[in-house]
Structure 1
Amino acid sequence: MDEVRARIRARHYSLRTEQAYLGWIRQFIVANGMRHPRTLGGAEVEAFLTRLAVERHVAASTQNQALSALLFLYREVLGIQLPWMESVVRAKRPQRLPSVLSVDEVRRLLAMLEGRAWLMASLLYGTGIRLMECLRLRVKDVDFARGEILVRDGKGGKDRRTVLPRTLEEPLRREIERARVLHARDLAEGFGATVLPHALARKYPGAQRDFGWQFVFPAERRSQDPRGGGVHRHHVDDAVLARALKRARARAGLHKPLSAHTLRHSFATHLLEAGYDLRTIQELLGHKDVTTTQIYTHVLNRGGHGVRSPLDAA
């Protein structure tokens, strides 16, 4: 497991990917009587993946994640090429449309939020960024002069730019000033070094304490880095916004399924309704393929592909 962890970190995979891969590899070993994976092979991998679909009824994305973890184990760590697994029972991938709020529902939801939770939720809806992209936002990547936000190392390791809503400029300035005060306090107490991606800490030794590299939404307390071991002020936990959204949904009287990602879906749908083209929305969202963005055109097809009911014409 230490070797798996070392190989994952050498490839700069995220901490969440590391935790997920280690979890699936551990489950695979336990399911096979604690035998070493080198003594197992394609048949055992097929059986494990089939049990996930047939007995545990996992989603297709969950089964694919387990497969990716085991392929990484065998190819990258053990140096073994598994045979193509044709007999795996695949979990069904449901064709679901994303839950989208109307403009009025978004306003009602945001009205029930306050403080940092309101600002983060407003950023998700106003920019279309993902939750973790919001939490990992650095001070230097907020460009007030150009009215844009630079998303670094987004999904797939890609950078992109998105719009900075003018109505959020002043609240963001106040939040950044709050982060500046916290950073100054950390420096005075002998801390203040943040976590940098990849090997930037070695390339730019002073960058860890530079304010531009600090998180826009810092945590209330310092914590120990699970990888490097140093004590840093990380970004705020994603559960903070999740809990705030759950309470705001109830107070706003909304009954649709709601998560932080719902605000991203609403951003894309409302841009389409406003007449923006798919290519522009694709770039703002950071989708690799425009077909991913096209799902929002289906969301717009209200009531059976936009057909007017004959009852309304009667």
Structure 2
Amino acid sequence: MTNNKANNYDILISDFDEKFFKVDFPGRFNEQMLEAVRTLPGRRWNNDEKFWLIPDNKAAVNQLMKNIYATGLFNVKETTGPKSSSPSIKSDERFIASQIQKINEALTTRHYSEHTKTSYKKWVEEFLRIYQGKEDIGEREINEFLKNLALKKNVSASTQNQALAALLFYFRFILNTPVTELGSVIRAKKSERIPVVFSRDEVSRVIGNLNGQKKLIAKLLYGTGMRLNEALSLRVLDIDFDQNEIIVRHGKGDKDRHVMIPQKLIPELKAHIEKVRQLHIKDLADGWGANPMPGALAGKYPTGCKEFKWQWLFPQKNRWKNLETGEEGRWHLDESLMQRAVKQAILEAGINKNASCHTFRHSFATHLLEIGYDIRTIQELLGHSDVSTTMIYTHVLNRGAGGVVSPLDRL
């Protein structure tokens, strides 16, 4: 897929295997094109051959095409006639694309996270594909849409409520017609699930099966309670050894918070930061070393992108390279690489739990409760807005079903 000759951006999409197809940038590309791929659920980065793997299903293909179109870098002209080989975009597709662009701008203006923006745009697009063109859409259509999600697609309560939040945002800020009569709108009750938690021995076994910076990341996840994307988004300046704290910036809900540095990790973190420094020095010597700055800081500090303090704490092993311009740079380690490594480590440890990177966060909170820390302290460390969210971990304060002696054991 190539855009107009003035910009000459290229995206190469090809087969890979039964589960994934391959996306590559053989020529010049930019941050918008990378984001079109990075925001796709289930995407993976192949670090050895330097290309992206995308789940080979209709939803992923459609989302990729929409993301690419939304960049505005590819001018697709509408054509007529049965013999035309050029892609055509119908008026309804143009309308949907324009609405998605508007909601993206509204979400960005209000500083919503990238994950929330991706989810909201997905639900609004799905809703519009069913009801766009119909007059006076509102409460009835929202209710019908939510019912179909629950009855036909069997989505979870949290997913259903997320779809409702996306639609209410769309009606309020894009259509300027807030839905005020919600008496009959279905608000699914979220099921209460006990989080999967590692024992201390299981934490040691899983971490012991990891290597390099992935091992250090796993220790941070368990030792601080950070989410995976929060740990991977850390920059060198976020580590404050003097105050013995890590600043987690732009966490869930775009909130900053502080977490402690585990004392056992201080020597390891310092050694790791020195390795990152040497890597950055090499990048600078090679003529690169720039890192994207958050928000509007790039304009405020034009040369800051090459300062060491703004470098990722966990950079990619190899620099990405634009084959046409020769430009090179580094992003932080991709989430999919860490997720796969932890999944493999769990298998090798022989742990039969539906666990993931997020299980380290659950284990952090549960183990702090077990040793007597109060719920408010744990709430603050986890970054929960409401203490009721943190209360789910209090199941460990009683012995529960595991502490009951079965009558069979008394025979």
**Same fold? TM cut 0.5:** yes
Alignment of structure 1 residues 1-314 onto 2, 5 Å: 1-32=100-131, 35-36=132-133, 40-222=137-319, 232-304=329-401
CA distance in 2, matches of 1:145, 1:311: 57
Larger helix proportion of the pair: 1
- Deviation (angstroms), 1:310: 7.0
CA distance in 1, matches of 2:264, 2:192: 36
- Deviation (angstroms), 1:145: 2.5
- Deviation (angstroms), 1:111: 1.1
**Percent identity between the aligned chains?**
50
In 2, are the aligned partners of 1:42 and 1:82 still within 8 Å (CA)? Answer: yes
What secondary structure is seen at the aligned counterpart in 2 of 1:121? Answer: helix
- Deviation (angstroms), 1:313: 8.3
- Deviation (angstroms), 1:59: 0.9
Q: Could you say if the C-alpha distance between residues 70 and 300 of structure 1 is closer, same or farther in structure 2, counting changes exceeding 3 Å?
A: same
Greater Cα shift, 245-254 or 168-177: 168-177
Which one has more relative contact order, counting CA pairs under 8 Å at least 6 apart? 1
Q: Which amino acid aligns with 1:68?
A: A
Q: Which amino acid aligns with 1:10?
A: T
RMSD: 2.5
In 1, are the aligned partners of 2:113 and 2:254 still within 8 Å (CA)? Answer: no
- Deviation (angstroms), 1:280: 1.7
Greater Cα shift, 54-63 or 180-189: 180-189
CA distance in 2, matches of 1:118, 1:56: 38
CA distance in 2, matches of 1:180, 1:91: 49
CA distance in 2, matches of 1:42, 1:268: 40
In 2, are the aligned partners of 1:223 and 1:233 still within 8 Å (CA)? Answer: yes
In 2, are the aligned partners of 1:218 and 1:235 still within 8 Å (CA)? Answer: yes
Which blocks of at least 5 consecutive residues in structure 1 are unaligned?
225-229
In 2, are the aligned partners of 1:150 and 1:160 still within 8 Å (CA)? Answer: yes
- Deviation (angstroms), 1:189: 4.4
- Deviation (angstroms), 1:188: 3.9
- Deviation (angstroms), 1:8: 1.8
- Deviation (angstroms), 1:71: 1.6
CA distance in 2, matches of 1:11, 1:206: 27
Q: Which amino acid aligns with 1:157?
A: D
* Number of matched pairs: 307
Write out per-residue CA displacement over residues 242-287 of structure 1, whole angstroms, 9 at most, x where no aligned residue. Answer: 1011111111110011111111111111111112222222221122
In 1, are the aligned partners of 2:225 and 2:364 still within 8 Å (CA)? Answer: yes
Greater Cα shift, 134-143 or 288-297: 288-297
CA distance in 1, matches of 2:298, 2:143: 42
Structure showing greater Rg: 2
CA distance in 2, matches of 1:223, 1:9: 26
- Deviation (angstroms), 1:36: 4.5
What secondary structure is seen at the aligned counterpart in 2 of 1:43? Answer: helix
- Deviation (angstroms), 1:290: 2.0
Write out per-residue CA displacement over residues 167-220 of structure 1, whole angstroms, 9 at most, x where no aligned residue. Answer: 212222232223223333443444433233322222333332221121101123
- Deviation (angstroms), 1:291: 2.1
